[in-house]
Amino acid sequence: MWLNKDIVSIGDFSKEEILEVLERSENMVSYAKTGHPEKPLRDKIVATLFFEPSTRTRLSFESAAMRMGAGILGFGALESTSVVKGETLIDTVRIVESYSDVIVIRHPMEGAARLASEFAQVPVINAGDGAGQHPTQTLLDLFTIKRELGKLDNICVGIMGDLKYGRTVHSLSKALSLFKIDLHLISPETLKMPKHILKDISTKIKVQEHEDLEEIVQDLDVLYVTRIQKERFPDPEEYKKVAGSYYLKTSHLQKAKKSLIIMHPLPRVDEIPVEIDNYPQARYFKQAAYGVPVRMAILDLILRGE
Ligand code: NCD
């Protein structure tokens, strides 16, 4: 199902295909520490082209590749590349495809991964395109919910933060609409979920919008928090108006279910205070760690179909 496929948008995949990744990821959890004993990707090379900053996504892809025995090449900063000489994205992709078996790309421009996938002969994985999509983050988010909560159906999920520019939540809400989910979107008025996404998911599941977490916190099984995407604001003054406008408080958690899980794609800025890190509900570091087994499964499925 996955062999040689591009992963550009989570919307390109069926529920069955998504569940297959989650199942394969389960098998990879123990190998994420020790490395896969058979090194099944030992003849493969994974290219990571990061035109935008990243810590978790790039390093967990590279760790996953190494745990599977693959070689890696690429860049995490543009200074050392011909991009600074004016080389186009398409030319860069055409070169790198001849050096590698799969290209993982992050770019500030929405649509960049789709464009790259149209030109590349090798599969392209979107590791974040501007305010567009971040499909592999969604796969690890779903994996976290399934593993930590034990199910993906009949749950109440709250997504709080910058829903306008946050690509992780664009992909996540689309994927959640494939399951039996009660979805609550919590954001300031100016950072609401884009209409086209809201329209799409509302035809499949029940979605409610809120401006205040207090209204709904007691019902949630999952609370997914995101930072305000400062770098995407066209006007810094607009950012200043919403900066610090919402954050999770310990008083919220007094009202929440004991079984609530708190997630965040990270990096966080000030929306979750560090004292919450010690609460049993906090799962964001575990979530980041699951990036490795999930990406091991993704690379294996794309490069070997297994
Ligand atoms: C996110 C991203 O880059 O979209 N981080 C990640 O990949 N884990 C979230 C963010 O930058 O806020």
| Ordered domains of the chain (ranges, CATH) | 10-133+290-304 (3.40.50.1370), 135-288 (3.40.50.1370)
Of the candidates 24, 48, 57, 227, the residue annotated as catalytic is 57
| Residue 266 beta carbon below 6 angstroms from any ligand 1 atom | yes
Residue 85 annotated as catalytic: yes
Q: What is the pLDDT of residues 96-123, one digit of tens each?
A: 999 999 999 999 999 999 999 999 999 9
Residue of 290, 283, 277 whose CA lies nearest to 259: 283
Which atom of ligand 1 is nearest to 127's Cα?
Answer: 7
- Rounded to whole angstroms, how far apart are CA atoms 70 and 193? 38
Cα dihedral: 89, 94, 95, 97 (round 10)? 110
What the block records as the tokens of 108 is 């500030």
168 alpha carbon to ligand 1 midpoint, in Å? Answer: 7
Residue 57 annotated as catalytic: yes
What three-state secondary structure class fits 253?
helix
Of the candidates 85, 195, 196, 258, the residue annotated as catalytic is 85
Residue 131: its pLDDT value, please?
96
Instruction: Tell me if the bond preceding 267 is cis, omega within 30° of 0.
Output: yes
For ligand 1, atom 6, name the residue with the nearest CA. 265
Which atom of ligand 1 is nearest to 128's Cα?
Answer: 4
Q: Which stretches of the chain drop beneath a pLDDT of 70?
A: none
> At 127, which helix (H) or strand (E)?
strand 124-129
Residue 246: its pLDDT value, please?
86
- With contact defined as beta carbons under 8 Å apart, do 25 and 142 qualify? no
| Residue 265 beta carbon below 6 angstroms from any ligand 1 atom | yes
* Cα-Cα end-to-end distance for the chain: 9
Residue 306: its pLDDT value, please?
82
Residue 88: its pLDDT value, please?
92
Beta-strand pair 222-225/155-160:
parallel
> Per-residue DSSP letters for 252-285?
HHHHS-TT-EEE--S--SSSS-GGGGGSTTB-HH
